[in-house]
Amino acid sequence: MKLSARIGGVGLAGPGLADWPALSAAIAGAPWAPEPGWQPQPACLPSRAARRLSPTIRLALMAAEQIGPALPAEAAWVFASSVGEGETLNVILEALRAEAPAIQPLRFQNAVHNAAAGQWSIAAGLRGPSTSLAAHDDTAGAALLKALMQLRLERLPVGLVVYDAPMPPPLHEKRPFGLPLAVALALVPEGPEAPGLRLSARLAPAATHPPTPPGTEIGRALAASGNPAAALLPLLELLAAERSGVAALGLQGTQVLALGLEAA
């Protein structure tokens, strides 16, 4: 079965990378440096409500809201993060060291891996299917696989949000990410009227299709951060240049997701 879609929109959030045009410019060679002290600020929530949410949730929402307008209300959503709510988990685990732990109820319900997906569905008033997944360093590959499968089998446009944020110590040392990064893709079914570049995917042996390294300075910098969302950089480099090409994403086995991008 052929897996394919048009990319109807791209969202992006990271330090010094407030949106997709910012990353596109950096891919094209504009200077970029991670903005010190950067905090994700989604526009879809009042700032007081946003402050009650973890930086990870705010990061994911900031990317999601950029592709929201490219998708109908009934779209399916796929949220993907390797570590999920690390900051919230750390607060809970510290509290659990006490003999009689006191955990804030709101914090607990926002500790689930799908906290970002849930908060996005509330902010955007969504009622359709929503999935949250993880696959260690191959989270982006699994996410794109699921999103394209959902689009093909359910015949629904899919909003995909791949994100991870650095965890606080002592978790950080065990899985360090140099910076937060969220990438969102609006994937819409192919059709004569469908906008955007055409993305296709199939499984291929990892032995013959090694994961593609990024080819630009910012691509390499983001990949070097260790953030699993940066695995999408080779695809984003092609998208930014509106160039045809291929990329491969790992899937935690001997297969990779072999992607092809076709410019019009």
Partner 1 sequence: MTPSPETAAAAVPPITATAIATCLGRGAAPHLAAMRSGRSGLAPCDWGGLPIACHIGRVAGIEADPFPGDLAAWDNRATRLALAALEADGITGRIAAARSRWGAARCAVVIGTSTSGVETLERAYRARADGAPLAAGYSLRHHNDHQAVAAFLQRLCGLDGPAYTISTACSSSAKALVDAVQLIEAGLADAVLCGGVDSLCRTSLAGFDALELVSRAPCRPCDAARDGLSIGEGAAFLLVEREGSGPRLAGFGESTDGTSMSTPPEDGAGAHAAMAAALQRAGIAPAAVGYVNLHGTATPANDSAECAAVARLFGAQVPVSSLKGLVGHTLGAAGAVEAVMALIAMEAGLLPGNAGLATPDPEIACAVLAESREAPLSHLLSNAFGFGGNNCALVLAR
State the residue for tokens 């390499």. 220
| Interface with partner 1, residue 150, by CB under 8 A | yes
Binding residues for partner 1, rule CB under 8 A, total: 71
Partners of residue 17 on adjacent β-strands: 14
Sheet with 197-205, strands from edge to edge, namely 76-80, 158-164, 181-188, 3-13, 197-205, 255-262, 245-250
Q: Rounded to an integer, what distance in angstroms lies between the CA atom of residue 241 and that of residue 244? A: 9
The correct pick among 16, 19, 38, 114 for binding partner 1 (CB under 8 A) is: 114
Helix (H) or strand (E) holding 51: helix 47-51
Pairing of strands 181-188, 197-205: unpaired
Is residue 226 a contact residue for partner 1 (CB under 8 A)? no
How wide is the angle at C-alpha 184 spanned by C-alphas 178 and 188, nearest 5°?
160
Rule CB under 8 A: is residue 84 a binding residue for partner 1? yes
Contact call for residue 125 and partner 1 (CB under 8 A)? yes
Interaction of residue 130 with partner 1, rule CB under 8 A: yes
Nearer to partner 1 by Cβ, of 155 and 264: the residue is 155
Q: What's the min distance (Å) between Cβ of 203 and partner 1?
A: 6
Q: Is the peptide bond before 170 cis (omega within 30 degrees of 0)?
A: yes
Nearer to partner 1, 27 or 116 (CB): 116
Structure tokens at 210: 């090694």
Is the Cβ of residue 58 or residue 146 nearer to partner 1 in the bound state? 146
Residue 173 binds partner 1, judged by CB under 8 A? yes
Shortest Cβ 117–partner 1 spacing (Å): 6
Residue 159 binds partner 1, judged by CB under 8 A = no
Site string for partner 1, 33-62 (x = CB under 8 A): ------------------------------
Q: Which of 28, 93, 224, 263 binds partner 1 (CB under 8 A)?
A: 93
Q: What are the φ/ψ torsions at residue 146 (nearest 5 degrees)?
A: -65, -45
Cα–Cα distance for residue pair 209/203, rounded to 1 Å = 10
Answer yes or no: are the C-beta atoms of 259 and 248 closer than 8 Å. yes
Nearer to partner 1, 15 or 141 (CB): 141
Q: How far is the CB of 162 from partner 1 (least distance, A)?
A: 13
- For residue 33, give the 3-state DSSP assignment: coil
Q: Mask 94-113, x = binds partner 1 (CB under 8 A)?
A: xxxx-xxxxxxx--xxxxxx
Q: Which of 21, 29, 169, 210 binds partner 1 (CB under 8 A)?
A: 169
